[in-house]
Structure 1
Amino acid sequence: MSNLSRLLKESWTLVEEQQDKLASYFYARMFLDNPQLRDLFPVQMDVQRSRLLGAIVTAIQSVDDPDRFGEYLESLGRDHRKFHVQPEHYDVICRALMDALRTFAGDQWTLEFDQAWRDAYAAIAARMMRGAEADSANPPYWHAEVVHHERRSRDIAVMTVKPMQPLEYRAGQYVSVESRYQPRLWRMYSVANAPRTDGSLDFHVRAVGAGWVSSALVRRVQVGDMVRLGAPMGSMILDRRSTRDVVCVAGGTGLAPIKALIEEMTRANRTRWVHVFFGARDRDDLYDLACLNRLAARYPWLSVVAATTDDPDFPGEHGNVSEIVARYGPWHDHDFFVSGSPVMVRTTLRTLAELQVPAIRIKYDVFSDS
């Protein structure tokens, strides 16, 4: 651990137990310094309150790992163009952050801690601004029309949108989505198809308990509605130079990017076997299994294994999808793609570590609606 990383983590422990109060103070200080910034955030701040501060803290504490986070921060800077973030806004956020940290750490805050956070924040802000500047040829966001909307289960919908302008992305990436029903609330969703000539994008959305955006996209959005899309992000893309066989592990609507990757491979793959493990609570949540089985019947290199945890009569595997993967194999010489809830991804990564799958061969993105 570098000295900078040590200082950041040590100083964060001084305020960690007061995160909620610190976040409230942080936003109040930021909006007092620049009232116009309030218009960039949703009317309801209950969920948002922890999001920005949490993202800043996570990025800052990872600042000494440039290979992992540099590209991500530049992508984040491109994505944040949708908020019309300007370079001077980074200074406002920095002042609010430092003031909040000093206030809640009290006498234990030192000049050494102060300088460490300033240096780390300056580094991530520079990478984000660099990403935004490099993307100036694209719009800050894309307007898209909903051209198809289908409920697949009690709380899952498949939605197709068509952007008004071309949106270039790679299979496996995700974009942020905003609807008119929850203005200024953006949530990340993986694109469920490889790029098409007509430019349309599919999304698989599950309505979750506190997910205002997901509930609107599943239950309120209709064909003809307009949504806005942020810049594509994510590194869960195929390495076209690799000749290794592929294992895809999907939980619930985490199937979306896996399906996009499979679709990309149907256009060119001739030599790589692809094994898909698709897990859910019950057969209703295996909302796209029929389509996967049709693809497997058409392409000999593709196999599909489905599993449920709470459906004893399901005619397939039973148990957590990570457990099912462990029953097959061996997997030492495969490329892995893992997608699902944060809990599912963490569980699968632990299983793959136990199976001695090299971490460098595992790709995943973790985000959630809430």
Structure 2
Amino acid sequence: MDAPTTTSAENGTSGGGGWFTPRTAAAPVPETSPASCTSSLFEPGAPAERSAPVAQQASPDALLIRRTMAEVAPVADKATSYFYALLFVRHPELRALFPPTMDTQRDRLFKALLTAVEQFDNTPVLVDYLQNLGRGHRKYGTRPEHYPALGECLIGALSRYASAVWDGETEAAWVRAYTTISQVMIDAAAADELRAPAWWHAEVVAHELRTPDVAVLTLRPDQPYPFLPGQYTSVETPWWPRIWRHYSFASAPRSDGLLTFHVKAVPAGWVSTALVRRARPGDVVRLGPSTGSMTVDHSTDSSLVCLGGGTGIAPIKALVEDVAEHGVRRRVEVFYGARSDHDLYDIDTMLRLQQSHPWLSVRAVVDQPPARLQLPDAVREHGPWNEYEAYVSGPPGMIRSGVDALRDAGIPAHRIRHDSLEELVGVGN
């Protein structure tokens, strides 16, 4: 592709609306595989775990795009605000796809771009990330014909706020990258449309307040809902339309089809506060598709060490149930972290599971006097864990410190499972 003329967002040019013309999705492929992405965006790369480093030379387009992002990073707020301003002025019909308040949405756009840039030359991880985005965006009503407008305005914003490094070659790299990125997402959404709805309606059938700020909700979806223990979904409430937040499943799939979630109300958390303080049996929420990679590999019988902080104990409980249902005798060590005894709202459930399963050990770790033992310290104290598979769930800070502690205790990075911090932005809000 020849380098197009540099876009001027100032003079209102379209930024090349014709450049971003995705294939029709009338005959979607089952899934976009890494091998099918032939654009220069995707250079060959060895499969890697989400947390494993990628050791290979960056492609020319990757270098140009990373240079752009480095230039934009100090003014990311202005660049993303400008992007949405362009989008809503030029394409006002798209405003209805977005929530009334755009603060969180602006943050997520830049974090999504950063994630894509970080994984630019790691084809399997990047394609998996984009496919999840494409499937997840169905619940917003995103269609293939929307992507050209988004690309046009993205180029307009980048050309304005990365003007010091922006040239025809850089713009051509971004056009190639966005064209390929959008096509992966479109193909994933089209394939998903053949087998699943864009969202599920789910009725609240039970609402148990465990603490003033933590509620356990049980939902009945209007049709079968597929998921794996350790995954999470997005939830939209009737009180805040078009605002979705992520919550982990707190049990393995049940024969009655019911779903359980642990929700903590947090300051300025619109969705979480509504679910904890306003939701009652009979209310109906919407669920997006399940996603997440923190699932058990049942092809091995390796022992597991699991770290759950706060409501992060929910997916850990689901993983324990999953191991029990498969009947494989493997040691499972659970560290349940909390700031106080009061915050161990699900400890009785975990201890009952321990009584039922001799292969399970549950340790409560409370960060208050007299113990003052933090979760990473407890993990190091009871190691080594070099023969274990590890699972970490909780607030982003706890995930970081937990992963560091597990690596210090001898577990290689590729055997530590957690959902990426970018995916967890907004969890519990």
- TM-score bin, normalised by smaller chain: over 0.9
Q: Map of 1:1-370 to 2, 5 A cutoff?
A: 1-2=57-58, 3-136=60-193, 137-309=195-367, 311-312=368-369, 318-365=372-419, 366=421, 367-369=424-426
- Number of the residue aligned with 2:54: none
Q: Quote the Cα distance in structure 2 between the aligned partners of 1:284 and 1:352.
A: 26
Query: How far is the alpha carbon of 1:107 from its aligned partner?
Result: 4.1
Give the secondary-structure state (helix, strand or coil) at the position aligned to 1:347.
Answer: helix
Stretches (4+) displaced over 3 A:
none
1:159-205 C-alpha deviation (Å, 9 max, x unpaired):
11110011111111111000011110001111111111111111111
Q: Is the 8 A contact 2:144 2:186 kept in 1?
A: yes
Higher helix share: 1
Q: Is the 8 A contact 1:8 1:61 kept in 2?
A: no
Q: Is the 8 A contact 2:250 2:314 kept in 1?
A: yes
Query: How far is the alpha carbon of 1:124 from its aligned partner?
Result: 2.2
- Larger RCO (CA under 8 A, 6+ residues apart): 2
Output the amino acid matched with 2:279.
V
Query: How far is the alpha carbon of 1:269 from its aligned partner?
Result: 2.8
Query: How far is the alpha carbon of 1:115 from its aligned partner?
Result: 2.3
Q: Quote the Cα distance in structure 2 between the aligned partners of 1:279 and 1:125.
A: 40
Q: Quote the Cα distance in structure 1 between the aligned partners of 2:233 and 2:261.
A: 10
Output the amino acid matched with 2:143.
Q
Query: How far is the alpha carbon of 1:355 from its aligned partner?
Result: 2.2
Higher mean C-alpha deviation, range 260-269 or range 94-103: 260-269
1:327-367 C-alpha deviation (Å, 9 max, x unpaired):
11211111111111111111111122222311121110130
Query: How far is the alpha carbon of 1:322 from its aligned partner?
Result: 1.5
Q: Quote the Cα distance in structure 1 between the aligned partners of 2:347 and 2:188.
A: 38
Check 1:270–1:57 CA distance in 2 against 1; reply closer, same or farther (3 A cut).
Answer: closer
Higher mean C-alpha deviation, range 116-125 or range 15-24: 116-125
Output the amino acid matched with 2:145.
E
Q: Which segments of 5 or more consecutive residues in structure 2 lack a partner in the other structure?
A: 1-56
Give the secondary-structure state (helix, strand or coil) at the position aligned to 2:103.
Answer: coil
Give the secondary-structure state (helix, strand or coil) at the position aligned to 2:159.
Answer: helix
Give the secondary-structure state (helix, strand or coil) at the position aligned to 2:116.
Answer: helix
Q: Quote the Cα distance in structure 1 between the aligned partners of 2:72 and 2:338.
A: 38
Q: Quote the Cα distance in structure 2 between the aligned partners of 1:40 and 1:18.
A: 25
Q: Quote the Cα distance in structure 2 between the aligned partners of 1:319 and 1:7.
A: 46
Q: Is the 8 A contact 2:384 2:410 kept in 1?
A: no
TM-score, length basis structure 2 = 0.82
Q: Is the 8 A contact 2:66 2:117 kept in 1?
A: no
Q: Quote the Cα distance in structure 1 between the aligned partners of 2:343 and 2:93.
A: 43
Aligned positions, number: 366
Query: How far is the alpha carbon of 1:215 from its aligned partner?
Result: 1.1
Check 1:294–1:95 CA distance in 2 against 1; reply closer, same or farther (3 A cut).
Answer: same
Q: Quote the Cα distance in structure 1 between the aligned partners of 2:259 and 2:379.
A: 29
1:81-129 C-alpha deviation (Å, 9 max, x unpaired):
1111111211111111110011112243122322222222223222211
Output the amino acid matched with 1:201.
L
1:257-283 C-alpha deviation (Å, 9 max, x unpaired):
111111111212332010000101111
Q: Quote the Cα distance in structure 1 between the aligned partners of 2:117 and 2:145.
A: 19
Higher mean C-alpha deviation, range 205-214 or range 242-251: 205-214
Q: Quote the Cα distance in structure 1 between the aligned partners of 2:123 and 2:246.
A: 23
Q: Quote the Cα distance in structure 1 between the aligned partners of 2:357 and 2:118.
A: 45
Q: Is the 8 A contact 1:63 1:123 kept in 2?
A: no
Q: Quote the Cα distance in structure 2 between the aligned partners of 1:121 and 1:276.
A: 42
Q: Quote the Cα distance in structure 2 between the aligned partners of 1:344 and 1:277.
A: 12
Q: Quote the Cα distance in structure 1 between the aligned partners of 2:320 and 2:93.
A: 44
Query: How far is the alpha carbon of 1:54 from its aligned partner?
Result: 2.6
Q: Quote the Cα distance in structure 2 between the aligned partners of 1:135 and 1:115.
A: 30
Q: Is the 8 A contact 2:332 2:361 kept in 1?
A: yes
Q: Is the 8 A contact 1:63 1:120 kept in 2?
A: no
Higher mean C-alpha deviation, range 177-186 or range 203-212: 203-212
Instruction: Determine which structure has more spread, i.e. the larger CA radius of gyration.
Output: 2
TM-score, length basis structure 1 = 0.95
Give the secondary-structure state (helix, strand or coil) at the position aligned to 1:135.
Answer: helix
Check 1:150–1:20 CA distance in 2 against 1; reply closer, same or farther (3 A cut).
Answer: same
Q: Which segments of 5 or more consecutive residues in structure 1 lack a partner in the other structure?
A: none
Q: Quote the Cα distance in structure 1 between the aligned partners of 2:211 and 2:250.
A: 17
